[in-house]
Amino acid sequence: MDFSVESWAPEYGSSINLPSTEDTDGQADATVERPLDAWTPIDPEPSSTPDEIAFIDGIQRIDARIWIHEYGISTPAVCVSLAAGATVCAPGSATTHGVRVARSLVAPASSGAGPIVTRHTSYEFVPARDATPEATYLAIHGRRTELEIGVARSVNSSLIVFDGPLRGQNDRQSVGYIKTHHKIYLPNEVQAILGTLVDGQRTPLFFLSGGPGGGRWSWYLRLPGPRVHPMSGIVRLELPGTGTVSEATARAEIVSACLPRFASESHKEARAPQNLYPISGIERELRRRLGDAPLLERSLRVAARRNIKEWLLAPEARTETLVPPREQFPRR
C-alpha cells in the first residue's frame, strides 16, 4: 500500500470532535416511576451496597493523518491509537484492571487500504463508510467501544459504570454515566426539579425509547460540590431498558447512593465534580499507555518512505521513469 503522511501536525485539520455519541433523538416517558404532578427530589435508600465497582473508560488519539494513493487517487485516512481500561474499587483499594491498547488505520472501505507496519507498532485496518469526517469518527468510536466492552467482560464486579452512554449494551450490571448534556430529556413541566436537587438526590426515573438496544431507564443525579449554576454537578445515568420499573428503581437507588462518594474536587480535577476520581485515574493511565505521539508519527513517516522506495524498485515499476537516474545529473 502506497501512502504518505500529512505534513501538518495531527491535531490540525479535520478534527474528530464531531457528533456526540449520546442518542439525542430518544423519546422520554417521564411517568414510569411517578406521575408528573408527583415529581419531587428523591433521597436514595438502597437495599444493598455492591462490594466492588468497576469504572470503565476509553480514550483515543490521532497519531497521524495520512493519504492513501491508489490508481492516481489520494484518499484521506487517519492512524489512531486507542486504549480502554477499568479502575476496580473495593473497600480500601482501587486497582487498574484490563487495560487494552489498539492502533488502527481508519480509511474508507473502498480505498484498498491495509495494515501499516512500522518499527514500533502496527496499525490494523478499520474500514469506514466513506471519507467524511463523520464516518471516520464513527469508525474510531466503534473500535473504542469494542475495547471497552472487552474490558467489561474481564471484570467480575456487580456494578460496572461506563463513562458515557450504554450504546446498546444490555448487561444487567452495566450503568451508563453521562456527564455532558446535549439534551435535557425531561418535559418542560418538571425540568425545574433539576435546579432543586441537593447533593446526592436524584430525579424519578424516565424511560428513553429508541436508540441502540431498544430503550433505557434513565434519571438525573446531583453530585456533591460547589453550585455556580442550576446544572452544577448534574449527571445523567442509564440502565438497560429490560425488566420492570420496580427492578430499575431498586437499581437506580443503589447506583445513586454509591456514586457521590467518588465525586472529584476542583483543586484536583478540572472537570469536578462530574469526572469521578476512578475515571480520572484510569484516563491518566491510558494516556500513559498510548505511548509517545511524536515517536509514532516519525515511525509512520519512515514507513511511508520505505513503502514508496519498495514500490519504485518493484519490477513492474522499473518500466516507468518516475525518478531520473542519478547519472543523468551532471556533477558540479
How far is Cα 10 from Cα 118, in angstroms, rounded to an integer? 17
Between the CA of residue 202 and those of 46, 254, 264, 307, what are the distances in Å?
12, 11, 18, 58
Alpha carbons 127 and 65: distance in angstroms, whole number: 15
Confidence (pLDDT) at 17: 44
Q: What is the pLDDT of residue 325?
A: 40
Q: Which of 111-115, 142-146, 227-231 has the highest mean pLDDT?
A: 142-146
Distance CA 138, CA 78 (A): 13
Classify residue 19: in a domain, yes or no. no
Please indicate, yes or no, if residue 318 is contained in any of the structural domains: no
Classify strands 53-70 and 93-108 as parallel, antiparallel or unpaired.
unpaired
State which residues form the domain around 171: 2-13+25-308
> How many residues belong to the chain?
332
pLDDT of amino acid 323: 39
The CA dihedral of 315, 319, 320, 325, to the nearest 10 degrees, is 90
Average pLDDT, whole number, for the chain? 88
- Banded model confidence at residue 313, pLDDT cuts 50, 70, 90: low
Beta bridge partners of 80: 62, 104
Q: What is the pLDDT of residues 252-288, one digit of tens each?
A: 999 999 999 999 999 999 999 999 999 999 999 999 9
Residues 97/87, Cβ–Cβ less than 8 Å:
yes
Number of domains, the chain: 1
pLDDT of residue 26: 65
Residue 130 domain-assigned (yes or no): yes
Predicted confidence at residue 14, as pLDDT, reads 40
48 domain-assigned? yes
In this prediction, residue 25 carries a pLDDT of: 60
Q: What pTM was estimated for this model as a whole?
A: 0.87
DSSP 252-302: HHHHHHHGGGG---TTT-TTTTTS-HHHHHHHHHHHHHT--HHHHHHHHHH
Beta strands 93-108; 116-117: pairing state: unpaired
For the segment 116-149, what is each residue's pLDDT rounded down to a tens digit? 999 999 999 999 999 999 999 999 999 999 999 9
In a domain, 141, yes or no: yes
| Residues 5-40: tens digit of each pLDDT | 977 667 554 434 445 556 556 689 999 999 999 999
pLDDT of residue 308: 62
Residue 252 lies in a domain: yes
Cα dihedral 146, 150, 151, 155, rounded to 10, equals 150
Mean pLDDT of 292-306: 93
